């Protein structure tokens, strides 16, 4: 059997939360159902955050209630505090995620507190999670640059990621929020992080602002990372990072990894179709080059060849 990689599909949360058009819970649930049919097994289903600030995530409890439940599926939700954690538990989320940044300025703009304050805020969340046997994933934003502070010291990234690991996060996702990273910087960052955190507990989360996301994922793979956040149809962006484009497209990573002989467990045609579904509802054109090429190939084939 070929070596496996795991995709954490973030389109239904990180992707949709930056879209101007808000999709109904029923549509978001159907998108996730289509992603499950495509073979994705770890999916961010939403966030229990204030609908006043993030209206796109309103009704996450309804989304979860509509989803197929199976032992091989993990539905994760973002929670900012104890209230969000309680809501996630009541809704039956399989996993929760907490989020901070390696940049003080970004953290204050994003969640209105310092890095230290955010970590303190997570302590009761982790305590609730342990009590109920729910795993917690940690996100660190701005690991390769900040829209306000510019370069972010690697040592600060390591300190923040290590703090989340000590709190009890089973997996730490390192996010290039502004899409500034290049392969050499990714290699340096990961080399520093693995001195404190086993590579098996690290994931990467790249935005494709400068077209480097796939190359950065390949570099992370070469450094031993096997967990990759991605977003169907390249959905995403960040309201606190002007100019940042979407996440690396799930279609592009599936194409890359399967081409390398790695097992993703994902049917690319069904994934492209799921992307087409959400694009239609959002009134947008896909950001995935692989999806565009796949659709063009299918259009030019004879009916007998389809």
Catalytic site residues?
238
Compute CA distances 255 → 9, 231, 259, 289, whole Å: 15, 14, 6, 11
Q: What whole-number distance in Å separates Cα of residue 84 and Cα of residue 55? A: 15
Q: What whole-number distance in Å separates Cα of residue 306 and Cα of residue 251? A: 20
Compute CA distances 195 → 105, 141, 199, whole Å: 26, 19, 9
Other Cβ atoms within 10 Å of 224 Cβ, number: 12
Q: What whole-number distance in Å separates Cα of residue 148 and Cα of residue 176? A: 14
Residues facing residue 43 across a β-bridge:
9, 75
Count Cα neighbours of 66 within 13 Å in the Cβ-side half-sphere. Answer: 18
């Amino acid at each position: 059997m070929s070596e496996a990689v795991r995709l954490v599909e973030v389109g239904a949360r990180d992707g949709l939360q930056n879209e101007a058009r808000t999709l109904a819970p029923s549509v978001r649930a159907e998108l996730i159902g289509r992603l499950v049919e495509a073979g994705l097994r770890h999916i961010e289903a939403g966030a229990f955050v204030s609908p006043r600030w993030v209206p796109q995530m309103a009704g996450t409890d309804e989304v979860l209630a509509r989803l197929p439940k199976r032992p091989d599926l993990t539905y994760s939700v973002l929670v900012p505090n104890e209230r969000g954690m309680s809501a996630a538990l009541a809704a039956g989320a399989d996993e929760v995620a907490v989020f901070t940044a390696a940049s003080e300025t970004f953290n204050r703009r994003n969640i209105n507190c310092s890095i230290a304050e955010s970590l303190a805020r997570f302590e009761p969340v982790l305590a609730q999670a342990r009590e109920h046997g729910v795993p917690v994933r940690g996100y660190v934003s701005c690991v390769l640059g900040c829209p306000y502070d510019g370069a972010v010291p690697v040592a600060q990234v390591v300190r923040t990621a290590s703090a989340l690991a000590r709190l009890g996060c089973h997996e730490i996702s390192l996010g290039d929020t502004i899409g500034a990273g290049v392969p050499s910087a990714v290699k340096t960052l990961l080399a520093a992080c693995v001195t404190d955190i086993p590579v098996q507990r690290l994931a990467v989360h790249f935005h494709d602002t400068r077209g480097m996301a796939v190359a950065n994922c390949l570099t992370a793979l070469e450094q031993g990372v096997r967990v990759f956040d991605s977003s169907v149809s390249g959905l995403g962006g960040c309201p606190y990072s002007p100019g940042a484009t979407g996440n690396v497209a799930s279609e592009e990573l599936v194409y890359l990894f399967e081409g390398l002989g790695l097992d993703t467990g994902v049917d690319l045609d069904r994934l492209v179709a799921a992307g087409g579904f959400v694009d239609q509802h959002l009134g947008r054109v896909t950001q995935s080059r692989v999806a565009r090429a796949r659709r063009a190939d299918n259009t030019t084939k004879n009916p007998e060849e389809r």
